[in-house]
Amino acid sequence: MTMRASRIVGLGHHVPARRVANAELEQELGLSQGWIERRTGIKARRWAAADEAVTDLAIEAASRALAQAKAQIGEIGLVLLATSTPDHLLPPSAPLLAHRLGLSCGAIDLTGACSGFVYAMTFADGVVKSTGQAVLVVAANILSRRINNSDIASAVLFADAAAAVVLAPSARDDVGVLGTSLLSDGSFYDMIAIKAGGTRNPDLSGALAEDRVIRIKDGKVVFEKAIKLMTQSAEEALARANVTAAQIDRFIPHQANARIFDRVAENLAIAPARTLRSIEEFGNSSAATIPLTLSVAAERAPLADGELLLMAAVGAGFTSGAIVFRVSDR
């Protein structure tokens, strides 16, 4: 049966136990006190233990979302895992995650860098509408294993986290994903990269140390391009949804850098009070930041029927995307 819309029925998140405050990194990297917060808005981040893998974080977040959704195993038709740090290069990690959750439905990884969750939600909405089944969307990353201490621009940003959303069919046709925008600009392909491990440079053991970790080629260019693409994708999604920025109840930007998403919110004329933030405590966990921010916020103030959400992200590649989503309680 073809459904007309989707709705969020479950949210969950999980972060590792180890909290790394700025003072620890500033001392290690030779930075002055307060340098990181002034430039990024980050005060602390979480880093995974040595024996933790992405599916370990993902299963905790997914289990919480499924419990909140009161979802039965047979109701889930697909598991989408948005990650840039899978357990292994091959096979994909999503089937293992599904298995550990007791699911035998479809399961696949999506590698969309920081925009991965927005893309996953777009695909999930289509699956819900075409199949009438619920979709579990999980975003998880362990970026602490790929931190480059010689590149200050990236070393202070990245964190580990997982968050999950359960999308289910709605009885209404005026809710769920109202408008989307998915963009890319491959001319900036190498601005944020881990060069080793792919088919261009497969030999990790022989690769230069700097090619095995995250490298930001030009921080100023990344900063300006991120603002431009996030603003553009958000404006397009709003236009396609026939919604104005003034109508948005909660703006959930990718938590890349507070200065970036504050500029985007300013460009869109969205008040600071409606912009959700988690970067201060949790840093930048790539695709996981949007669902993490939403899940944390919903614990304090649950999503209400009719609320309008705007999610926007930009990531390596460059990829960008935005979604306008209307919340429904049925």
Catalytic, 13? Answer no
Catalytic, 14? Answer no
Count Cβ atoms below 10 Å from residue 90 Cβ, excluding itself.
Answer: 5
Cα torsion at 42, 323, 243, 134 (round to 10°)? -120
Order of strands, sheet of 176-184, starting from the edge strand that comes earlier in the sequence: 176-184, 319-326, 308-315, 250-253
Q: Which helix (H) or strand (E) holds 230?
A: helix 219-241
List, in order, residues 6 or more apart from 94 with CB less than 8 Å away.
79, 80, 81, 107, 108, 109
3-state secondary structure of 237: helix
Active-site residue, selected from the candidate residues 105, 141, 254, 257? 254
92 preceded by cis ω (within 30°)? no
- Encoded tokens for 79: 């598991």
From CA 118, how far away is CA 197, in angstroms rounded?
25
Cα torsion at 63, 69, 74, 76 (round to 10°)? -80
Beta bridge partners of 158: 284
Among residues 51, 47, 49, the alpha carbon closest in space to that of 24 is found at 47
Catalytic, 114? Answer yes
Active-site residue, selected from the candidate residues 13, 105, 114, 148? 114
DSSP string, 135-178: EEEEEEEEGGGG--TT-HHHHTTB-EEEEEEEEEE-S-SS-EEE
Question: SS3 breakdown of the chain: % helix, strand, coil, rounded to 5?
Answer: 40, 25, 35
Q: Which residues are catalytic?
A: 114, 254, 284
